[in-house]
Structure 1
């Protein structure tokens, strides 16, 4: 096994032993049967043995991040004669994005989350270091920025999403999770204005957090704001995670009382699942963290440290005689707020070259059947990960379930069989609530908790901190990206 994986597991075993748990017991408790490879290689092989399909076809995968490369690995394991091409322009596309909150709070370093894409390229898979800019699904072709036309029998779109910072007046550019962007970093990462959604942004957030603590130690009364935009976002819990971790660091430094912390979500709830919403509200109240619903950041002056939010609400309107009910009138107003520290969660969208193409949709995301992940119009196209138009599916935990469905259904389609593999909407959010505490929120399209272990899922637990900090990264980097977990 990779030396890094070995070292991580040794630390995990040591920490679990303090809690009176073996690794096997912890995995069973968490319902992580697909992580058998973390026990020993022979069990991994036994757990992932499949009868290789003799089906043939040229498969092109757009996007070589976690979702795309995991799909390539599992297809390689599942086909006798695979013909797979991955098109990806970023040399660190597989970097471990869930670790960015840990980098931003000083728990990990940037080096702990950055990996070279080529190091995870499955044997026999062709990698084209370029970006697809044109889609021609009627003729089964894509065109790269470099001008190369590539044909396919089956296409997988796993290109992730774009961080649309420029949608906020006063900011510039579009960024991506694993790479800094000169336009974005021109305004973000300094002077109290931060964002964890790209790797260098996470590094700068930790610097900004330390500056906030230093100012608070001088006795100043400060304001820290945390935003959540009016678009779908990856990892819906991340805007709250960084707030919890900032709270923990301020408390650790003995200056929490000097900083007023307020969360400004665009929506009207803390979480889409009521049980988790209720738990988070109680956690916020216990930590004296404030919140104001229905506030969307629309403008910022990073030099003056002023943020403008559109605050919206509904009022009862005129009586509708036909419907025999009062109409609803939507209203809003702009509110300018000063800040000393702000964490910006940017609006997010599909990359324009995909969202505006024939394979995109009115909202930009790739429209697929939410269970089979097959394109609603083109039978030989599948999509997964952040860019797929499925409810609540923009997390690494979702991709871990989705890529197996995509592989099963591509092979079924290649063999002329019915697509029987179904994605049930499983999503998991390890919501960091403190240094040493995590609430493991698991749910699906029912919008009800779906815990895979016999514990109250609304409770913060140290064992889930161990899962988050020690287990999930090796499970992702050496499990998913090998097509086994």
Structure 2
């Protein structure tokens, strides 16, 4: 392994791999581009809520990391332990140091389960689960099959989260599961720490309509703060009233609070909230011209989705190449993202919008209307485009 690289990419997720593929097509970077990621597998995580509802298999959602690394890139499967932007040094496991000319940070997001009292002790037991970890999605479906009455609670924190509509996907497919199995004694509810159901008015209205129609209760400004697994109770703090209340459950599906990875928060590259501080349009770091960021670890003011990364990747690659050549950064990212939501098995809507929070739908249909076609796009077409297009720098 060399000690110096023209480009180092931290993170082998959707952002890191897709940017690497594009850079290798646009520049002479063969064997000069290093990808750093300690994981053995690369996962398509948007499939996991469907796995947790019994509509997909988790084995279909991941591939060995070596299989997705583009030709010409070098992969080292180590953890990043230090970032020194002024010295252009990255520290890895065993105090190994590598240097770079240009750096792309694509380290994703950190799941902070320990910020909820009692959660780590009971996760995977007592019908407490999450769809954000590969090892737990099967337990979600196992619990779903076993519960017959009481409260089934799906939570959503007030922090930014990856796969921003994953809780809603679970919520609606859970409801369909209970309907199909005639489990009328179950009270399905969403507890969200956010002050609104959705940031775009058109889709907020649709979600509200669907929740009312399907008799799913929801409470906003309610943050999960404690789980007692053996007693099967969950405590929530209400941001508006300041009151903490305890709710019994038969099943609890948790979306944990999330933040930028600690290694980023410990660096000098963050904004006041602890996210990687990049220009929202060029994706270049605001203080270091040779550093760019992409995806969930950044402070880009949009919903964190794979579809957002898909739109960011070509912008970052073009601007990084321009930076290398001393040219003006002309490519612009406008905040575009897409949020496909399964409203039942076989039906979905798809929210698409940018920084202005106005609908920007890419298909000649009303994407706020549930349809079989949009479910097919979500379950079949998008994963195909992900593996065969986005990760190969083609879409």
TM-score normalised by L of structure 1: 0.79
CA contact (8 A) 1:449 1:457 kept: no
User: Cα deviations across residues 220-252 of structure 1 (Å, max 9, x unaligned)?
Assistant: x41111111121111221111101111111111
Match of 1:194 among 129, 145, 154: 129
**Which residue number corresponds to residue 293 of structure 2?**
383
Aligned mates of 1:362, 1:210 — CA distance in 2 = 44
User: Cα deviations across residues 361-404 of structure 1 (Å, max 9, x unaligned)?
Assistant: 33221000000000011110000011111012411000001011
Pairing of 1:113-192 with structure 2 (within 5 A): 113-172=61-120, 186-192=121-127
**Which residue number corresponds to residue 265 of structure 1?**
192
**Which residue number corresponds to residue 346 of structure 1?**
256
Secondary structure of residue in 2 paired with 1:389: coil
CA contact (8 A) 2:283 2:292 kept: yes
Aligned mates of 1:165, 1:429 — CA distance in 2 = 24
Q: Which moved more, 1:77-86 or 1:384-393?
A: 77-86
Secondary structure of residue in 2 paired with 1:146: helix
Aligned mates of 2:301, 2:307 — CA distance in 1 = 14
- 1:308 offset after TM fit, Å? 0.5
CA contact (8 A) 2:192 2:221 kept: yes
User: Does residue 1:211 correspond to 2:121, yes or no?
Assistant: no
Pairing of 1:56-455 with structure 2 (within 5 A): 58-82=6-30, 83-92=32-41, 94-172=42-120, 186-212=121-147, 216=148, 221-255=149-183, 257-313=184-240, 331-455=241-365
User: Cα deviations across residues 263-302 of structure 1 (Å, max 9, x unaligned)?
Assistant: 1111221101111010001101110000111100011111
**Which residue number corresponds to residue 47 of structure 1?**
none
Aligned length, in residue pairs: 390
User: Cα deviations across residues 289-332 of structure 1 (Å, max 9, x unaligned)?
Assistant: 0011110001111111111000122xxxxxxxxxxxxxxxxx40
Aligned mates of 2:166, 2:340 — CA distance in 1 = 9
Aligned mates of 2:386, 2:272 — CA distance in 1 = 32
Secondary structure of residue in 2 paired with 1:115: strand
- 1:190 offset after TM fit, Å? 2.1
User: Cα deviations across residues 16-39 of structure 1 (Å, max 9, x unaligned)?
Assistant: xxxxxxxxxxxxxxxxxxxxxxxx
Secondary structure of residue in 2 paired with 1:235: coil
Aligned mates of 2:163, 2:112 — CA distance in 1 = 15
Aligned mates of 1:145, 1:413 — CA distance in 2 = 30
CA contact (8 A) 2:164 2:303 kept: no
Aligned mates of 1:228, 1:122 — CA distance in 2 = 35
Aligned mates of 1:361, 1:166 — CA distance in 2 = 23
CA contact (8 A) 2:130 2:255 kept: yes
CA contact (8 A) 2:29 2:72 kept: no
User: Cα deviations across residues 415-470 of structure 1 (Å, max 9, x unaligned)?
Assistant: 00000000010010011110011101101111111101221121111101111111
Pairing of 1:46-57 with structure 2 (within 5 A): none
Report the CA distance shift for 1:285/1:81 in structure 2 as closer, same or farther (over 3 A).
Answer: closer
User: Does residue 1:458 correspond to 2:368, yes or no?
Assistant: yes
CA contact (8 A) 1:130 1:146 kept: no
Aligned mates of 1:81, 1:303 — CA distance in 2 = 55
- 1:81 offset after TM fit, Å? 4.0
Unaligned runs of at least 5 residues, structure 1: 1-56, 173-185, 314-330
- 1:171 offset after TM fit, Å? 2.3
Q: Give the superposed CA RMSD.
A: 1.1
CA contact (8 A) 1:386 1:393 kept: no
Rg larger for? 1
Aligned mates of 1:413, 1:63 — CA distance in 2 = 21
User: Cα deviations across residues 86-116 of structure 1 (Å, max 9, x unaligned)?
Assistant: 0000011x21111001111111112110211
Aligned mates of 2:78, 2:229 — CA distance in 1 = 34
User: Does residue 1:484 correspond to 2:390, yes or no?
Assistant: no
Aligned mates of 1:90, 1:436 — CA distance in 2 = 33
- 1:360 offset after TM fit, Å? 2.4
Aligned mates of 2:275, 2:264 — CA distance in 1 = 8
